[in-house]
Amino acid sequence: MGKKIVAARLWIVLARCQRAVALAVERDIAALGLCITDFMVLEALLHKGPLTITEIQTKVLLASGSMTAAVDRVESMGLVVRKTTSKDRRARVLDLTPEGRRLIEGAFKRHSQHLEAMMAVLDSGEKKVLYEALKKLGRSVAERLSQAEGK
């Protein structure tokens, strides 16, 4: 029988796994000609439609400085445009240009294939158990943080 899996040991394995997967993802995305922050902005717009910078920032968990730089980059490359909305003329939303849509659709398809290949080591049952366990852990930790902030 192996060693008992204590929380500290589990955290180390989780952190190492996250680092390895994140590095592989960053390399795959770089091979597509994008940096990770630009990819995250374009992917959010692909799957959620036009969004404000604040909405994108919330979805992709980027610091505001990184967010502004990424938006400026993808806009200067002609991949997104800023538009006003009929709901609030002061608010500016970002939307994909046709070129941006073509680029991110292809990039996301290849990215998804890379993720599937990377995670093929897990069978569908293991993926489900891991998914549910990570969601449970994440919710619990988020709840504890929220309670601590409320004190």
- String of DSSP letters for 33-59: T--HHHHHHHHHHHHH-SEEHHHHHHH
pLDDT of 132 higher than 70: yes
Q: What are phi and psi of 142, to 5 degrees?
A: -60, -40
Strand partners of residue 80: 96
pLDDT at 1: 56
pLDDT at 100: 96
Q: How high is the mean pLDDT of the chain?
A: 91
- According to DSSP, the β-strands at 51-52 and 92-96 are antiparallel
Strand partners of residue 94: 51, 82
In whole angstroms, give the CA distance from residue 28 to residue 108: 11
Q: Which CATH class is domain 7-150?
A: mainly alpha
Q: Helices marked H in 2-150 — which ranges?
A: 7-31, 36-48, 53-60, 64-76, 98-118, 124-150
